[in-house]
Amino acid sequence: MTQASEEIIVAYNSRPEGSPTEYLGAEISIGYLPGEKINQLKSQLESNTLFEEMQGFWGDKFEGSSLLQDFMDIHDIYHKNGLIYYEDVCECTDTNEYSTANWYRISDEYFDTNTDSWVKDPHYCDPAMMQIPEDGIIVLSLRTMDLYFKANGVLPSTLKNDRNIEGSTAFKVGLGIDSFHSLFADFNFSGFNLLHSASVGGIELVRDEEAEAGNIYYSTHFIFKSGVLIGWLATNNEEHGFPFNYTETDLPCISPYLHISDPDNYKIGVQNLMGAL
């Protein structure tokens, strides 16, 4: 007898305050910065050649950096992409209604109709708290992009259960979420969460990353030495947007925007980074 199965689609989009798009996502890479790249960075900072004029997809010109683009490929510690949002996944929606109606999200507790009380869900996992290793020189690179999170699969109907709010059977979906709140809070930056996966009963649903992605925006790069933030670089030609538009740091951002708008502060950022590397 053939086992009954069903298609499931889990979809979310996000537009937090300050977002350049209603489908805000990011690619995040973390890795050890090789000596060759450190020397290239020092040389280009000294010669003021880190940023150069580049041409966009639509013929527009902007200030970019080939070296910082290369930093995105340094990911021997961490490399994921997904949806980014501030505090709670409840902030996210499914504007285009891609999701099927046969699932519900695992939360930390659920209402048990048998006991008429709220009960902790043993299958719920807190977001993973991301940290930077305290050895060597490490670069964390983040590039924002259009991304509408969609994960899908065909699962046995026997995996459905009856613990959703409506009382009918449905697939119980766990979301893979990494939190960058405590990491950035240590350096007076606003944090965020990255939603990167969805699973049912230990079976990970499949994402079509090419279909999810759209426009690519500016990249931001943080350099750490012995676990301490020593440099903040970015390719933005405008003021910083999400997720770094709310910061309390005095650390200058080495970017085309700061180079033009506040050259003295730009020089301070360069001098501080050169002295720390």
Where exactly are the structural domains of the chain?
A: 5-276
Tell me the two tokens of residue 210. Answer: 């090419």
- In this structure, of 37-41, 133-137, 160-164, the range with the lowest mean pLDDT score is 160-164
pTM of the model as a whole = 0.90
Query: 97's torsion region: left (phi>0), alpha (psi -120 to 50) or beta?
Result: left
In contact, 37 and 74? CB cutoff 8 Å: yes
- To the nearest 10°, report the CA torsion of 24, 53, 69, 56: 40
Of residues 61 and 7, more confidence is placed in 7
Lowest mean pLDDT: which of 81-85, 108-112, 126-130, 267-271? 108-112
pLDDT the model gives residue 166: 58
Interior/surface letters 165-202, b for 16+ CB within 10 angstroms, e for the rest = eeeeebbbbbbbbbbbbebbeebebbbbbbbbbbbbee
- 131 has a pLDDT exceeding 80: yes
Starting at the edge strand that comes first in sequence, how are the strands of the sheet with 206-207 ordered?
5-12, 149-156, 206-207
User: 82, 102, 203, 225: which is closest to 162 by C-alpha?
Assistant: 102
Most confident among 78-92, 120-134, 159-173 (mean pLDDT): 78-92
Residue 26 · residue 82 · CB < 8 Å? yes
Token pair belonging to 16: 């937090």
Please name the helix (run of DSSP H) or strand (run of DSSP E) that holds residue 193, with its range, or none.
strand 193-200
Share of the chain above pLDDT 90, in %: 60
User: What average pLDDT does the structure give for the chain?
Assistant: 88
Query: With bands split at pLDDT 50, 70 and 90, how would you rate the model's confidence at 163?
Result: low
Confidence of residue 49 (pLDDT cuts 50, 70, 90): very high
CA–CA distance, 19 with 16 (Å, rounded to integer) = 6
pLDDT recorded at residue 250 = 86
Average pLDDT score over residue span 210-229: 87
What's the pLDDT at 208? Answer: 80
Decide if pLDDT at 59 tops 90.
no
Q: What is the pLDDT of residues 19-40, one digit of tens each?
A: 778 888 999 999 999 999 999 9
For residue 177, the model assigns a pLDDT of 96
Question: What's the whole-number mean pLDDT along residues 106-124?
Answer: 77
Helix (H) or strand (E) holding 84: strand 78-85
Q: How far is CA 162 from CA 102, 111, 158, 200, in A?
A: 11, 11, 11, 14
| Residue carrying structure tokens 């033009």 | 260
Which runs of consecutive H residues, i.e. helices, occur in 72-202? 181-185
Position 240 scores a pLDDT of 81
Residues 6+ apart with CB under 8 A from 69: 219
Q: Is the pLDDT of residue 106 over 90?
A: no
At 120 the pLDDT is 80
